[in-house]
A and B are shown apart, each in its own frame.
Chain A
Amino acid sequence: MIRVTIDGVTTQVPERTTILRAAKFLEIKIPTLCYHPLLKPFGACRICVVGVKKGLGLEMVTACNTPCEDGMEVVTQAPELLRARRLVVELMLARWPNVAVIQRLAAELGLDRPRFTSPVRDERPDACILCLRCVRICEEVVGASAIGYEDRGIHRRVATPFNQESEACIGCGACAHVCPSGHIRFEGEDYRGRPAEFLLGPNTAIYVPTAQAVPKVPRIDPESCIHFKTGACESCAAVCEPGAINHKMRDEEIELEVGQVLIATGYDLFDAAPAAQYGYGRLDNTYTALDIERMLNATGPTGGRVLLKNGQPPRAVGIIHCVGSRDENYHRYCSRVCCMYALKFAHLIKERCPQAEVYNFYIDMRAFGKGYEEFYSRVLHEGANVIRGRVAEVVQAGWSKQEEGTLLIRCEDTLIGKFREIPVDMVILCNAIEPKRDAAHLARIFGLSRSPDGFFLERHPKLDPVATTTDGLFIAGCAQGPKDIPDSVAQASAAAARMLATISKGVVEIDPIRAEVDEALCSGCRTCVPLCPYNAIEYLEAKKISQVNSTLCKGCGTCVAACPSGAISGYGFTDAQVNAELEGILAL
């Protein structure tokens, strides 16, 4: 530790601390421009000049990159320093008179009448002020070095190699983030293809999923994290005091030996974009139900307000039921939960935008549960308009300038037997609940059957909705079929109870349907041994016969059919029994 005095205040700092850092520690303000806490100090703007006492005079140095020395005495406000800073800012104003950050510095230094005009004056408010933060962050933090500078002196400018689109650029936006004048802008879409100004999700690579996430810890998205693209950055790990961030963490494969598995892998939502007639992903202000859930949430991007892309509340909202459900083209089943949440949306929108008209376009209103029908009536009383009919398409309206941005929902109103066109500002699509994209893969692993709609198959549709045909494998929730929360909870409880029951019994009941070897008849040919898929048959060297392990045997009967001596019997399905059945059914 060394001692340094700034403006008369003495403190101890670690060796090699810069004067600027030491001043920050003492809460003494020194103006800066090209300095940025994430970057190595550069010393280009020269605004942070301070004076170090040397003999009788002051030596002017830049605070950002001059290390403190033991016993150093620094002043930050001497008249010659202010004079120097003022002139440096005056030089900048001569060239960039309208850049906000320079104007601010000028005001702080009391510069009200700039005297000079540079021959290369640039009057844009977003002119590049050559702080080179963008170049430095791309090289030091991001590790991509996609942007640099060319030419020298007054002609120096920030550019990409040969002024062409840089292939090294990974589109992280770090340069735009640190640009003080807004010269570099990050335009266009974020990595998920949504317009950046209206992100309904995280806008940094490390983010807390929602304010109500459990557990409420940040996670890193490897798709957009710079470290995974260039090996550099790790700014998050640098600022994390407990050191809780580890970019090297990888998915671990853990092997557990279990006796029962509950598969509750949930659902995916129907991607509404291919259903082009609804305009999702193409038209502005067209959302899916999950998007709206996020918007309505108090911790969402709009703080719970219902807003259009232009920041205004909508005048009319159309909620379209059965997008992808009850549809020959996509899924024939009903997704069960959409009608109720659609009514919930109608209710909330009416509550938050009392002036807005809400239209629900439905086929049948499925209000099947406890209190559901009553809620439906209530929503009708609140003034939601319900139109019974399928929506043919959603188009841009716009005969006149005032109608720009308005969407038109073209539908059939079957109750009055007419085609209608309803102008709305916002469209909400209730998209179908689908089996998860990897359901087939999961089914193959576990040997699960799936029903024709792709959800996992229960053992019996009425009497055994949580078990599957495989012992020890249970299913619950939307993995088994679309259902809402009360039903999911009920099913999950049931499955858990079944599993606990098996465990608490303490013994495992074996199916009586299994195979057994008659030792007298077995010749030890071992034809059966390799056939068993469960390796349940063991050849006993000592006795020179094969034996079936009853706990492993599942009773498929393959070995029974294969035994040349007829030494194995399959209980419940012995040859005699099958032959008897044959005789019986063919007697008539």
Chain B
Amino acid sequence: MPYRVHLMVCAGTGCVSNGSLGVRDALEKEIHRRGLGGEVQVVTTGCNGFCGAGPLLVVQPDGIFYQQLTPKEIPLLVEEHLIKGRPVPKLMYVPPEEKVPIPKMSEIPFFKGQRLVALRNRGLIDPEKIEDYIARDGYTAFAKALTQMTPEQIIAEIKAAGLRGRGGAGFATGVKWEKVRQAVGEPKYIICNGDEGDPGAFMDRSIFESDPHSVIEGMLIGARAMGARWGVVYVRNEYPLALQRIQIAIEKAREYGLLGENIFETDFSFDISVTRGAGAFVCGEETALIASVEGRLGDPRARPPYPAEYGLWGKPTCINNVETWANVPPIILRGAKWYSQIGTESSKGTKVFSLVGKIRNTGLVEVPMGITLRELIYDIGGGIPGGKKFKAVQTGGPSGGCIPAGPLLDQPIVYDGRGERRPLSDALDLPIDYESLTDVGSMMGSGGLVVMDEDTCMVDVARYFLAFTQDESCGACTPCREGTKLMLDILTKIVEGHGTMEDLESLEEIGRVVKETSLCGLGKTAPNPVLTTLRYFRDEYIAHIQAHKCPAHVCRELNVYRIDPEICVQRGHGCGVCRRECPEKAIFGEKNQPHRIDQALCKKCGVCVDVCHFHAVIVE
């Protein structure tokens, strides 16, 4: 007998770490207790994307969305919603500044603005059950590709769809597939790059965890198109759940005869193995990744020759990102025409972004290319919390750049998504697209989007990203190895208050040469955060250098901590908490007397700010 209700419990890493498995267990227990076992099914799904609101539950087929659940609310929910048929408002999502909850998931702004292609199955299937995937038209595209299309037709379809590599470079996928197909060498390999090294990025992780079969199907179609015999899925070792899910999926696919020899009783054979990464950001670079799979040190090598000609074990190899592979089945199933109608003139389809930082709705979103920053940050993202001002958005991870809020003084000429280039006055009007982001000095990257408000110091942001890339540099070529270290040194000097104006010129000069002459993508893009912040936020740098001040008060060395004597006495009555907590014993004062900080002793740790209940400590 079919179930009348499915309870989709989100079991992505975010919700799991918030206790969603406990919620699931409570649900199962309560349902069993109430004798609803034959009518209600509890399904653990992958990540829904709205990670800030977890643990999540979606009741299907109604589409009712519950957020921030705990096990003790479950009996009420079961009683009210499942037995009495009355959804529970107090467990629903309430938009900020409003009182009325929004019951349906599709109405919630976070979800409303999204368009799911790669993440089409999120929250709707149990990722460990291949039957769920097949039920949602899974592997139908592959069957069509294998039995009704020739390899050339498949490639033509991908080309017509305009799919571009989602790993960051945005190279035309169909062209790459064609190159590999035409290359000479047997056997051919395809690789799924699941290294996802950008700090804070989790798009690929999410795809592995919620819909691993979409990747396998994409790889099967690609293998058929390019004539590849073996596939490798490279997953970074820091994703244990993703590793587990993809391995289960591969085994299930083998069981069902979807991987192995003579699939569907044709002469097409293909199988996939999984390789774990070993903790190097540089292994996301394709030649370093190949070295890692071969068991060698993960050093990138010079290109040409490109992996399409000379890749894994010296054979023609196609490496694509996880998200790219996940986009392939829908393109084959629904056609290039359908796909090419989404997105902009040059960037077709959708992109998964991780929306993080100073934004209300943090999580994973998939939006059509061409959506403006304004829509993304305000409509879907919910805007900046705490009444703060939007300052900048950083795209593309540590290889990307910062786009400032407000009018862009140098009015860069930017691709407008419709085939034209126009001057852009407000960053928020920027349509998100490979070309437009590059025009403005940033890049798409793998899809990380960090929103920053007035409490973010752009110099510190640049230093943070550069510290990451500098540490991950493999050390082979001079400019990246020495240049990033020198730049980091200079930035550290600046945030500590010892910078000079010459340092800014040095940063720009070194950064330019590192970009021009580095051997691989890591070096070529590592200076981007520094160079874009210098371009758009130069005044912050100058403040650090000349005024010895950090406008966002982030750079501790430059802060001056002062106690407002009036607030201290009138509101705090000289409580003396700060005096007791100060590790340097730099605060002096008596009860009922205004306290003061001795600047010579103050080490700028900021503890006093944290402990003062009356906000008497002012940071300048």
Interface set of A (CB-CB < 8 Å, partner B): 41-47, 49, 60, 62, 65-67, 80, 83-84, 87-88, 91-92, 94-95, 115-116, 118-120, 130, 132, 151-156
| A46–B475 CB distance below 8 A | no
Interface size in chain B (residues, C-beta < 8 A): 28
B residues engaging A (CB < 8 A)? 280, 282, 302, 304, 470-479, 481-483, 485-486, 489, 506, 509-510, 513, 516-519
Residues of A within 8 A of B473 (CB): 152-154
Q: Select A46's contact among B282, B489, B506, B517, beta carbons within 8 Å.
A: B517
Could you tell me if B506 and A116 are in contact, using CB atoms closer than 8 angstroms? Answer: yes
Q: Closest residue to A132 on the B side, CB-wise?
A: B476
Q: A92 contacts B485, CB within 8 Å? A: no
Bound: A65/B479 CA distance, A: 17
Partner of A152, one of B304, B475, B486, B517: B475
Please tell me if the beta carbons of B513 and A87 are within 8 angstroms of each other in the complex: yes
A118 touches B486 (CB 8 A): yes
In the complex, what residues of B have CB within 8 A of residue A46's CB? 477-479, 517-519
5 pairs of A and B residues whose beta carbons are closest in the complex: A156-B475, A91-B482, A43-B302, A87-B513, A153-B473
Expressed in whole angstroms, the minimum distance between the Cβ of A155 and any Cβ of chain B is: 7
The CA of A151 and the CA of B280, in the complex, are separated in Å by 11
Which chain A residue lies CB-closest to B490? A116
For B472, the chain A residues whose CB sits under 8 A away are: 152-153
A62 to B302, CA, bound (A): 9
Instruction: Beyond A130-B475, A156-B475, list 8 extra A-B contacts (CB 8 Å).
Output: A46-B478, A91-B486, A92-B482, A94-B482, A152-B473, A153-B481, A154-B470, A154-B485
**Given known contacts A44-B478, A45-B477, A45-B478, A84 and B517 CB-to-CB distance under 8 angstroms:** yes
Q: Is the CB of B477 within 8 A of A87?
A: no
- CA distance in complex: A253, B210 (Å): 74
Whether the Cβ atoms of B513 and A84 lie closer than 8 Å is yes
25 CB-based A-B contacts, threshold 8 Å: A41-B302, A44-B477, A45-B477, A46-B478, A62-B302, A65-B302, A66-B304, A83-B513, A87-B479, A87-B513, A88-B479, A91-B482, A92-B478, A116-B506, A119-B485, A120-B485, A132-B476, A151-B475, A152-B280, A152-B282, A152-B473, A152-B475, A154-B485, A156-B474, A156-B476
Q: Which residues of B contact A84 (CB under 8 A)?
A: 513, 516-517
> Do most interface residues of chain B lie in helix, strand or loop, or is the interface mixed?
helix
Q: Chain A contacts of B517 at CB under 8 A?
A: 46, 49, 60, 62, 84, 88
The reply to whether B485 and A43 contact each other, CB–CB distance below 8 Å, is no
Question: Closest approach, in angstroms, between the C-beta of A154 and any C-beta of chain B?
Answer: 5
Please determine whether B481 and A118 come into contact, CB atoms closer than 8 angstroms: no
Question: Given A87-B509, A87-B510, A91-B510, are A154 and B481 neighbors across the interface (CB < 8 Å)?
Answer: yes
Contact A91 B479 (CB under 8 A): yes
User: When the two chains form their complex, are residues B475 and A154 in contact, meaning their CB atoms are under 8 A apart?
Assistant: yes
Contact present for B475 and A153 (CB under 8 Å): yes
Q: CB < 8 Å: which of B282, B475, B476, B482 contacts A95?
A: B482
Specify which chain A residues have a CB less than 8 angstroms from the CB of B478 in the assembled complex.
44-47, 88, 91-92, 130
| B477 x A155 contact (CB < 8 A) | no
Q: Give bound CA distance, A119 to B491, whole Å.
A: 13
Closest residue of chain B to A95 (Cβ to Cβ) is B482
Contacts of A115 in B (CB 8 A): 506
Q: With A43-B519, A66-B304, A91-B510 as given contacts, are A118 and B475 in contact (CB-CB < 8 Å)?
A: no
Q: Are A153 and B474 in contact (CB under 8 A)?
A: yes
Q: What's the A-B contact tally at a CB cutoff of 8 Å? A: 92
Closest A residue, CB atoms, query B471: A153
Residues of A within 8 Å of B304, CB to CB, are 66-67
> Does B513 lie within 8 Å of A118, measured CB to CB?
no
- The residue on A at minimum CB distance from B280 is A152
A234 to chain B, nearest CB (A): 22
B519–A156 CB distance below 8 A: no
Residue ID in chain A nearest B298 by CB atoms: A152
Closest CB in chain B relative to A64 CB, distance in Å = 9
Contacts of B482 in A (CB 8 A): 91-92, 94-95, 118, 154
Contact partners of A119 in chain B: CB under 8 A: 485, 489
* Cα(A226)–Cα(B470), bound, Å: 39
Residue of B nearest to A120 (CB): B485
Contact indicator B513/A88 (Cβ below 8 Å): yes
Most B-side CB within 10 Å, residue of A84, A91, A155: A91
* A36 → B minimal CB distance (Å): 15
In the assembly, what is the distance between CA of A114 and CA of B333, in Å? 61
Complex Cα spacing A152 to B482, Å? 12
Q: How far is the CA of A306 from the CA of B251 in the complex (A)?
A: 80
- What separation, in Å, do the CA atoms of A154 and B477 have in the docked complex? 10
Minimum Cβ distance to chain B for residue A137 (Å): 17
- In the complex, the answer to whether A60 meets B516 with C-beta atoms within 8 Å is yes
* Whole-angstrom CA separation of A41 from B305 in the bound complex: 13
Q: Could you tell me if B519 and A44 are in contact, using CB atoms closer than 8 angstroms?
A: yes
**Considering only CB atoms, which chain B residue lies closest to A64 in the complex?**
B302
Beyond A60-B517, A65-B302, A91-B482, is A155–B475 a contact (Cβ under 8 Å)? yes
**Hey, which chain B residues are within 8 Å of A118, CB to CB?**
482, 485-486
Choose one: B282, B486, B516; the contact of A116 (CB below 8 Å): B486
Neighbouring B residues of A155 by C-beta, 8 Å? 475
Closest residue of A by beta carbon distance from B282:
A152
CA distance A336 to B103 in the complex (A): 118
How far, in Å, is A86 (CB) from chain B's closest CB?
Answer: 9
Which chain A positions have C-beta within 8 A of B506? 115-116
The interface residues of chain A lying within 8 Å CB-to-CB of B519 are 43-44, 46, 62
CB-CB under 8 A from B486, the residues of chain A are 91, 94, 116, 118
B474 to A, closest residue via Cβ: A152
Please indicate the chain B residues that have their CB under 8 angstroms from the CB of A66 in the complex. 302, 304
In angstroms, how far is the closest chain B Cβ from the Cβ of A109?
13
For the complex formed, measure the closest distance between the CB of B419 and the CB atoms of chain A, giving whole angstroms.
19
| Distance between A181 CB and nearest chain B CB, rounded to angstroms | 14
Distance A83 CA – B509 CA, assembled complex (angstroms): 9
Q: Which residue of B has the minimal Cβ distance to A49?
A: B517
Verify B479–A44 contact, CB threshold 8 A. no
B510 and A44 contact, CB distance less than 8 A: no
Q: Which residues of B contact A94 (CB under 8 A)?
A: 482, 486
Q: Give A178 to B472 CA distance when docked, in angstroms.
A: 29
Smallest beta-carbon distance B547→chain A, Å: 25
CA distance A88 to B304 in the complex (A): 22
Residues of A within 8 A of B475 (CB): 130, 151-156
Contact between B513 and A44, CB atoms less than 8 A apart: no
Residues in chain A near residue B470, CB distance under 8 A: 153-154
Closest beta carbon of chain A to B298's beta carbon, Å: 9
For residue A40, give the distance in angstroms from its CB to the closest CB of chain B: 10
A94 to B513, CA, bound (A): 15
Q: How far is the CA of A115 from the CA of B505 in the complex (A)?
A: 12
A194: shortest Cβ distance to chain B, in Å?
Answer: 39
Closest to A96 in B: B482
What is the minimal beta-carbon distance from A242 to any residue of chain B, in angstroms?
32
Q: How far is the CB of A60 from chain B (nearest CB, A)?
A: 5
- Please indicate the chain A residues that have their CB under 8 angstroms from the CB of B479 in the complex: 46, 87-88, 91
Contacts of A60 in B (CB 8 A): 516-517
Q: Which residues of B contact A62 (CB under 8 A)?
A: 302, 517, 519
Residues of A within 8 A of B509 (CB): 87
B530 to chain A, nearest CB (A): 15
**CA gap between A62 and B481 in the complex, in Å:** 17
Distance, CA A25 to CA B516, complexed state (A):
27
Cα(A37)–Cα(B491), bound, Å: 40
List the B side residues contacting A156 at CB < 8 Å: 474-476, 481
- Expressed in whole angstroms, the minimum distance between the Cβ of B501 and any Cβ of chain A is 14
Task: Give bound CA distance, A152 to B471, whole Å.
Answer: 8
A305 to chain B, nearest CB (A): 45
Cα separation A155 to B304 with both chains bound (whole Å): 28
A344 to B568, CA, bound (A): 106
Query: How far is A95 from B472 in the complex, measured between Cα atoms in Å?
Result: 19
Q: B278 CB to closest chain A CB, in angstroms?
A: 12
Q: How far is the CA of A494 from the CA of B237 in the complex (A)?
A: 86
Least distance between A114 CB and chain B CB atoms (Å): 12
Q: Which residues of A contact B510 (CB under 8 A)?
A: 87, 91
Determine how close the nearest CB of chain A comes to the CB of B473; give it in whole angstroms: 4
Chain A residue nearest to B523 (CB atoms) is: A46
